[in-house]
């Protein structure tokens, strides 16, 4: 069952090493089928060179394996919580991409510093707070999902407008309308984190945030009913 979705999720997973977003096996992609109430995710710890579409694991939205011979990604409870909580999400990516992890480990949001950022993220990419020992010792991955949602709700950030987060001490999660869209956002996040790192070092005393009018212009020329970037017409 779900052979087309497994193929799509496999291809999205393979796009991670192709875009230098993963080292070894440190990443995972999933995509949900809302009608069937399941999502498909990469198996845990399998070398990308050995990965096959049929290895993808089908999981229910409450996080139980429905189909597949391999253990699903260890981050499955995080994906499941995000799909349950944010019902518009179609695909989720987690990586340990280097520049985003550097910001995550420093506990610093990726600032909305220029139009490269504004094209994809309508504001800073926030950091979900460090988990407590109790949260890590019991249901670590579920609590990671909860900490992500809390970061957005406490700062009143719309997850559709800012489709990514840094989990403190761990790394980035991004999402989108489907798995490939979430991969696109993971690529952008690592690029803008690298650019921001250099911008901050070149001029440490400057507030590097892009002005609101440029943030608006760049975000909305790619998103919403008045988008005109690329082949959009209205």
Question: Quick one: tokens of 31?
Answer: 């995509």
8-state DSSP, 55: G
Q: Which of 44, 115, 116, 199 binds ligand HMS (CB under 6 A)?
A: 44
* Secondary element (H or E) of residue 180: helix 179-202
Q: Which is nearer to ligand HMS, 46 or 208 (CB)?
A: 46
119 in active site: yes
Candidates 7-15, 24-32, 127-135, 201-209; binding stretch for ligand HMS (CB under 6 A): 24-32
Catalytic residue among 33, 55, 119, 169: 119
Binding mask 83-112 for ligand HMS (x = CB under 6 A): -----------x------------------
Other beta carbons less than 10 A from residue 152's beta carbon: 17
Instruction: Judge contact between 78 and 141, C-beta under 8 A.
Output: yes
122 in active site: no
Find the shortest distance in angstroms from Cβ 44 to ligand HMS: 3
Q: Which of 38, 56, 75, 172 binds ligand HMS (CB under 6 A)?
A: 75
Other beta carbons less than 10 A from residue 43's beta carbon: 19
Among residue numbers 154 through 213, which ones bind ligand HMS (CB under 6 A)?
A: none
Candidates 4-12, 23-31, 125-133, 173-181; binding stretch for ligand HMS (CB under 6 A): 23-31
3-state secondary structure 111-178: CCCCHHHHCCCCCCECEECCCCHHHHHCCHHHHHHHHHHHHHHHCCCCCCCCCEEEECCCEEEEEECC
The residues binding ligand HMS (CB under 6 A) are 25-28, 42, 44-45, 73-75, 94
């Amino acid at each position: 069952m779900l052979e087309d979705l497994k193929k799509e999720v496999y291809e999205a997973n393979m796009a991670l090493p192709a875009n230098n977003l993963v080292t070894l096996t440190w990443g995972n992609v999933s995509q949900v089928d809302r009608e069937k109430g399941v999502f498909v995710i990469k198996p845990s710890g399998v070398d990308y060179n050995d990965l096959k579409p049929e290895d993808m694991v089908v999981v229910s939205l409450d996080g139980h394996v429905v189909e597949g011979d391999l253990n699903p990604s260890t981050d499955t409870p995080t994906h499941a919580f995000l799909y349950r909580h944010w019902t518009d999400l179609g695909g989720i990516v987690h990586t340990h991409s280097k520049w985003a992890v550097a910001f995550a480990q420093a506990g610093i949001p990726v600032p909305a510093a220029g139009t490269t950022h504004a094209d994809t993220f309508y504001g800073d990419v926030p950091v979900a707070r460090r988990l407590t020992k109790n949260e890590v010792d019991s249901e670590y991955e579920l609590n990671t999902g909860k900490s992500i949602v809390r970061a957005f709700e406490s700062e009143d950030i719309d997850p559709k407008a800012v489709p990514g987060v840094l989990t403190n001490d761990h790394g980035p999660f991004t999402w989108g309308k489907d798995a490939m869209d979430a991969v696109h956002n993971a690529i952008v996040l690592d690029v803008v984190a690298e650019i921001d790192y250099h911008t901050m070092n070149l001029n440490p005393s400057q507030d590097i945030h892009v002005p609101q009018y440029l943030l608006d212009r760049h975000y909305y020329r790619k998103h919403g009913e008045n988008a005109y970037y690329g082949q959009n017409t209205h």
